[in-house]
Structure 1
Amino acid sequence: MSEIKTPEMGTPVWMDLMTPDLEKARAFYGPLLGWSFDVGTKDTHFYTTCKVNGLNAAGMGQLPPGMNGPPAWTCYFGVEDIDAMAETVRKHGGQVGMGPMDVFDQGRLAICSDPTGAHFGLWQPLKHQGAQVEHEPGAMTWREVNTRDAAKAIAFYSAVFGFEAKKLEGMGDMQYWTLHKGKTPVGGVLQMDAKWPAEAPSHWMNYFAVPDADVAVKHVTEMGGKVHSPPEDSPYGRLAVVEDPAGATFVVIHLSETSPEM
Structure 2
Amino acid sequence: MDGVEPGTPCWADLATPGLDDARRFYPQLFGWTGVISPEPAANGYTVFRKGGRAVAGAGPPADPDQVPIWSTYVATDDADLAATRVEAAGGQVVVTPFDVADQGRMAVLADPAGAVFCVWQPMAMRGAELFNAPGAMCWNELVTPDPEGATDFYALVFGWQPEESPTGPVPYTGWRCGNRIVAGMMPQLEKLPDDLPAYWSVFFAVEDADATAARAAELGGTILVPPRDNPAGRTAALRDPQGALFSVTALR
Instruction: State if a TM-score over 0.5 links the two structures.
Output: yes
Matched, 1:160 2:157: yes
Letter in 1 for 2:227: P
**Structure 1: runs of 5 or more not aligned:** 257-262
Residue 139 of structure 2 corresponds to 142
1:189-243 residue CA offsets vs partner (Å, 9 max, x unmatched)? 11114x3247341000110001111110111010000001111111211110000
Matched, 1:60 2:55: no
Moved more, 20-29 or 239-248: 20-29
Partner Cα separation in structure 2 for residue 9 and residue 218 of structure 1: 36
Corresponding residue to 2:191 among 175, 187, 196: 196
Letter in 2 for 1:188: G
Letter in 1 for 2:47: T
| Offset at residue 176 of structure 1 (A) | 1.5
3-state SS in 1 of match to 2:125: coil
Corresponding residue to 1:82 among 63, 75, 79: 79
Partner Cα separation in structure 1 for residue 132 and residue 208 of structure 2: 14
Partner Cα separation in structure 1 for residue 72 and residue 182 of structure 2: 12
For normalisation by structure 1, the TM-score amounts to: 0.92
Equivalent pair of 1:154/1:189 in contact (CA under 8 Å): no
Name the count of aligned residue pairs.
250
Matched, 1:46 2:52: no
Equivalent pair of 2:35/2:48 in contact (CA under 8 Å): yes
Which residues of 2 match residues 1-262 of structure 1 at below 5 A?
4=2, 6-41=3-38, 42-64=40-62, 67-172=64-169, 174-193=170-189, 195-197=190-192, 199=194, 200-256=196-252
1:169-190 residue CA offsets vs partner (Å, 9 max, x unmatched)? 1421x22211011221111111
User: Kindly, what percent of the aligned residue pairs are identical?
Assistant: 38
**Structure 2: runs of 5 or more not aligned:** none
Letter in 2 for 1:210: V
Over aligned residues, Cα RMSD in angstroms? 1.4
